[in-house]
Every structure is written in C-alpha cells, then in structure tokens.
Amino acid sequence: MDSIAQILELAESYSRELPQPPPPPALPEGEKIAGIIDLTLIKADATSTEIKQLCEEAVRYNFFSVVVNPAYIPLAAGLLANSQILVGSVAGFPLGASMPTQKSFEALSNITAGASEIDMVLNIGAVKSKAYGLVFNDIATVAQTTHIQKAALKVIIETPFLSRDEKILACLISMYAGADFVKTASGFAGGGATVEDIDLMYRVVGAKIGVKAAVGIRDYSTAAAMVKAGATRLGTSAGINIIKEITNG
C-alpha cells in the first residue's frame, strides 16, 4: 500500500463490506493451547519473586512467551535462557502518547535486554484526531527498529477507545506500517478482548499478520472462542488457570 490515501480508501470499502478471510487456524487440542499464549505479568507492583514464578510456570506448561515490564526483562531472559520460551515486553505503554523516537528507543532497549517481541500502544489520540500519517509513522518507526533486531512487533490498538471504523483503520495502518500482529487492548482502558472485535480484526487483516486477543481471557471457553474468531495469539495473566481447567488439575 503506497499511501495513506489508499489505506483510507480501503478502510472505507471495508466499513461497507468486510472481506471474507480464510478460515482461522484450528484451535490447538487441549493443553497445547499454551503454545499460543503469552503468559503476562505487567502490573505496577509485580515483584521479582512473582516474575520467577511466572517463568517457572511458563516452562512447566510450555507457554509461548512471558510478557513482563521492561525492568524485568533481564531477569526473565536469564531464567528462560535454556528454554524455548520467549520474553516479550512493552513500549509506549499504556497510553501510546510517546513520540515515535521514544517508542523506538524503548523497543531497542528492551530487545537489547533480552526481549524477542514488543507490544506497543499506537497513538490513540492521533487516531481520534484523524492524524493518520502520524499513526503510520509511529508504527513504522518502531517496526523498522524491531525488525532490524529480528524481533516481532504487536500493535495494541486499544479497542475500548475506538469506534468500528477506527478499529478497521487502526488495523489497516498497523498492517501496512509493518506490524506483525494487531492486539486488542492494554488492560488499562477499562475493557478487553471481545469475540466481535477479534472477528472484525481478523476480517481486516486476514492471514497477512497475526491477531492477539488480550485482557479478560480468564477461562478456557473464552480462550477457545477467541481462537475460533480468528485470534492467533492470546495474552492473559490467567494462563495457568486455563490449563488447569483443561487438565482438571
């Protein structure tokens, strides 16, 4: 996509009629769902003891990754060094109102410290202000940094703040600016993932990039519904409960 004007034109057509995407990937069987879960602990008062427990649980149940605040990246990376579990962290979190250069520097610092995936919040105010060039540049700047470092970028579009048309635009801009995933929410905006939003996001991006459902996923039935709607990754702090529900353990 060569220009913002073309993205806006595509978004307008999608607002009238969404494309029919390919069937979403199959729901992993049983506890294998752990392989698409980012086990998350990003609360302000998280302790090193809790991070150690998080990493131990991630290894025990074979979660895809742990997502921690930047200050805990070195600890998590060290604890997981002999495993296949990735470390993820955040940039521009939770408001998304940092400058692109600041988000890019934060992403680079996180990757240097041991993170393999970055979840950034897009500039929500810029979306609401229709400053779409700024939104594109914000994401593209961070995407370039993460990809040079061979890391993945997930863009949190913060669905609780956006209208349907704004969600469509945010997904399209994220995709064409270089994001590897679009993600529902940070957890700091008073709402989280819904099946309706995941369906919308998947219809917009199809199989071109991933869709991460995050916030409010506390049991297996919710997790399964998100995957069936098109989520290719789940972010939750309740991953252990979901696996224990499956295994009755």
Instruction: Give the span between the Cα atoms of 130 and 124, in whole angstroms.
Output: 10
Backbone φ/ψ region at 26: left (φ over 0), alpha (ψ -120 to 50), beta: beta
What is the widest separation between alpha-carbon atoms in the chain?
53
Query: Are 181 and 209 spatial neighbours (Cβ–Cβ below 8 Å)?
Result: yes
List all residues 6 or more positions away from 62 whose beta carbon is below 8 Å from its beta carbon.
34, 35, 84, 85
Beta bridge partners, 155, equal 120, 182
> Is position 43 annotated as part of the catalytic site?
no
Cross-strand partners of 38: 65, 235
The verdict on whether 45 is a catalytic residue reads no
Q: Is 212 a catalytic residue?
A: yes
Start-to-end Cα distance in the chain: 49
* Cα 44 from Cα 67, distance rounded (Å): 13
Of residues 38, 103, 119, 197, which has the active-site annotation? 119
Nearest Cα to 45, choosing from 79, 71, 77?
A: 71
Single out the catalytic residue among 103, 154, 167, 183. Answer: 183
- Indicate which residue of 103, 154, 167, 212 is catalytic: 212
**Looking at the annotation, which residues are catalytic?**
119, 183, 212
